């Protein structure tokens, strides 16, 4: 089943066209990665999907439903959650309150408590630090918190924007392990990454954006095997 | 009276007045925290609150507490409408445009109040007979006790709302990062409305308390306390809720101590002298953080 279908999505920033008729589909249960250089339009794509950009052309279908005009704040309740670039945790609130903000739209106390437990099981470090100010966490922990906060919404589709950005290599590997784990627990993931090597290892499908257009799409294996991709993104010569 | 007794007496007077400044300052600081706007019409909502209370007591024949609740609800509505009509359409405009709109809204409230309620003073009905309570060498009036008590009660309530309820946590989240809160499913517009409602209700309560304290209300009564409460909010660190309380109390005390030391004509000058000094030495306010952010 198709969870997310993006159909000829175009975005303009003033006179600059950031996205040109981008189309792709994310199937249930998979990890789908958007690759590309800085400024290729990866983050723009995610922001357009989650309703953060006022003027877009084209269509976004989520579970068959047209969500192009649905306001951003209504999407988590439908099951689409966006974990933004730079983590954007609420520093000044405790770790636990940050996680509960992720469940803001929910009213099922029982379910929220269960999911909180699940997040703590997945990220024991967040449990240890649940009463601390989220701003005091390290970069890796903040990324875990941002992902955990997204999971508190019990999403069917998680958009992850640059989860490995600015992290030490050992932590990057750990974050990717978590992404795999979250996916195996049943959440479909649309991932945006600069680290093409690791991203292609964990994902099922991928597409490559170049200056706002899709340059290449296919299974992660096919994309990884592409000569040009190997040269440009994977550093194989 | 020896000077230290006089100072102690002025400290008591200052705390009562300061708690009113604090109530008004809370509205400034909460609104600033969430949409980075100095709502210059806030002092006029305080004025409207006093009038709503006046009519609730004289025309609806309510006693003090129900009248205060009615006035707070009505002022909350005015605050929400103000944001809806005047500020929301300018959300993505430059900050100076919104600021000028706020000043315009303030003048509109004052003129409308003058038109509707009349330009002259109205004597505020006294809900409780005046009494002095002797505390050793100094005294406190029952009205001061009422002001202080109601102010503290409302501040405790606000503290509980902001820190322990869902809407309060959402307010803090929106103040920290609007877009991240949006991605959590927070309806930003609704939270902004709630902030205006809360701040306006507190200002209305302050309006009634001051109406009772000074025994009179008029359409321009919001100007000076509004400005001073704004200074109080900056003094404590604008956008920081406990800062407004600290700033308000300090302002009230400073103002009254100046009366003891010098002349009462300097009273109003103190607020602005304090503002200048604070901006020189602690631009982020007493409880404000230095401008360092962890990336």
What confidence tens digit (pLDDT) does each residue in B141-192 have?
A: 999 999 999 999 999 999 999 999 999 999 999 999 999 999 999 999 999 9
B164: closest chain A residue by CA: A97
Residue A182: closest CA among A214, A146, A211:
A146
Query: Hey, what domains does chain A have and what are their CATH numbers?
Result: 2-85+157-232 (3.40.50.300)
CA B127 to chain centre: 22
Worst-scoring range by mean pLDDT, A76-85, A130-139, B39-48, B119-128? Answer: B119-128
CA distance A105 to chain B (A): 6
| In the predicted structure, residue B290 carries a pLDDT above the cut 70 | no
Q: What integer pLDDT is reported at residue B287 of this predicted model?
A: 87
Domains and their CATH numbers in chain B:
3-126+134-281 (1.10.3470)
| A81-125 pLDDT per residue, tens | 999 999 999 999 999 999 999 999 999 999 999 999 999 999 999
Q: Is the pLDDT of residue B295 over 60?
A: no
Closest residue of chain A to B185, computed from CA coordinates: A73
Q: Which residues from A are below 8 Å from B183, CB to CB?
A: 50, 52, 72, 76, 81-84, 88
Distance CA A59, CA A21 (A): 10
Give the C-alpha separation, A18 to A53, whole Å. 12
Q: Could you report the per-residue pLDDT of A128-187, keeping only the tens digit for each?
A: 999 999 999 999 999 999 999 999 999 999 999 999 998 999 899 999 999 999 999 999
pLDDT digits (tens, 9 = 90+) for B245-254: 999 999 999 8
Paired strand residues for A9: A22
Closest Cβ opposite residue B294 in set A74, A104, A135: A135
Average pLDDT, chain B: 91
Mean pLDDT, chain A, integer: 93
Specify the higher pLDDT residue, A206 or B129. Answer: A206
Q: pTM of this prediction?
A: 0.91
What residues contact residue A126 under an 8 Å CB cut-off, 6+ apart?
Answer: A95, A99, A119, A120, A141, A144, A145, A148
Q: Any bridge partners for residue A190, and if so which?
A: A32, A159
Q: Quick one: pLDDT at residue A236?
A: 65
pLDDT in tens, B92-120: 899 899 999 999 999 999 999 999 999 99
Cross-chain Cβ contact A100/B169 below 8 Å: yes
Min distance B191 CA to chain A CA atoms (Å): 12
What pLDDT band is residue B293 in, cutting at 50, 70 and 90?
A: very low
In this prediction, residue B276 carries a pLDDT of: 87
Position A71 scores a pLDDT of 94
**B294 pLDDT higher than 70:** no
pLDDT of residue B127 exceeding 80: no
Instruction: Check: CB of residue A87 under 8 Å from CB of residue A102.
Output: no
């Amino acid at each position: 089943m198709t969870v997310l279908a993006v159909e000829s999505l175009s975005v303009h920033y003033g006179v600059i066209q950031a996205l040109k008729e981008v189309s792709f589909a994310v199937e249930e249960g998979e990890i789908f990665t958007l690759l590309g250089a800085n400024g290729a339009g990866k983050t723009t794509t995610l922001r357009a999907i989650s309703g953060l950009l006022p003027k877009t052309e084209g269509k976004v279908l989520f579970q068959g439903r047209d969500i192009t005009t649905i306001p951003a704040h209504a999407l988590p309740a439908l099951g689409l959650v966006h974990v933004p670039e730079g983590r954007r945790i609420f520093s000044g609130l405790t770790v636990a309150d940050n996680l509960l903000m992720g469940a803001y739209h929910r009213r099922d106390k029982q379910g929220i408590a269960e999911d909180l437990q699940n997040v703590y099981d997945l990220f024991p470090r967040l449990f240890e630090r649940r009463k601390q100010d989220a701003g005091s966490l390290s970069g890796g922990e903040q990324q875990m918190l941002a992902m955990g906060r997204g999971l508190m919404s019990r999403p069917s589709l998680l958009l992850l924007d640059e989860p490995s950005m600015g992290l030490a290599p050992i932590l990057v590997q750990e974050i990717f392990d978590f992404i795999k784990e979250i996916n195996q627990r049943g959440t479909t993931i649309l991932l945006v990454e600069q680290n093409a090597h690791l991203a292609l290892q964990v994902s099922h499908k991928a597409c490559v954006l170049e200056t706002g257009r899709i340059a290449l799409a296919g299974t992660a294996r096919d994309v990884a095997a592409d000569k040009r991709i190997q040269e440009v993104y994977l550093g194989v010569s | 009276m020896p000077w230290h007794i006089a100072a102690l007496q002025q400290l008591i007077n200052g705390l009562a007045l300061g708690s009113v400044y604090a109530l008004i300052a809370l509205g400034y600081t909460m609104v600033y925290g969430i949409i980075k706007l100095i709502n210059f019409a806030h002092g006029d909502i305080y004025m409207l609150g006093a009038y709503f209370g006046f009519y609730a007591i004289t025309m609806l024949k309510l006693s003090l507490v129900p009248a205060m609740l009615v006035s707070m609800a009505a002022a909350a509505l005015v605050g929400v409408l103000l944001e809806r009509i005047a500020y929301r359409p300018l959300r993505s405009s430059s900050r100076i445009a919104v600021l000028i709109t706020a000043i315009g809204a303030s003048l509109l409230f004052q003129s409308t109040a003058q038109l509707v309620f009349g330009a002259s003073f109205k004597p505020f009905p006294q809900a409780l007979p005046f009494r002095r309570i002797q505390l050793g060498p100094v005294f406190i009036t029952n009205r001061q006790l009422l002001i202080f008590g109601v102010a503290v009660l409302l501040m405790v309530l606000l503290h509980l709302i902001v820190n322990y309820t869902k809407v309060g946590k959402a307010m803090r989240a929106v103040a920290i990062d609007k877009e991240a809160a949006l991605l959590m499913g927070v309806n930003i517009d609704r939270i902004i409305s709630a902030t205006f409602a809360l701040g306006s209700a507190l200002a209305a309560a302050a309006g009634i308390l001051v109406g009772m304290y000074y025994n009179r209300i008029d359409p321009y009564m919001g100007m000076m306390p509004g400005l001073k409460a704004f200074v109080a909010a900056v003094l404590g660190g604008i956008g920081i809720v406990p800062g407004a309380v600290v700033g308000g109390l300090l302002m009230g005390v400073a103002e009254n101590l100046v009366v003891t030391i010098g002349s009462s004509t300097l009273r109003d000058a103190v607020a602005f002298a304090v503002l200048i000094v604070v901006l020189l030495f602690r631009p982020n306010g007493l409880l404000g953080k230095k401008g360092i952010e962890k990336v």
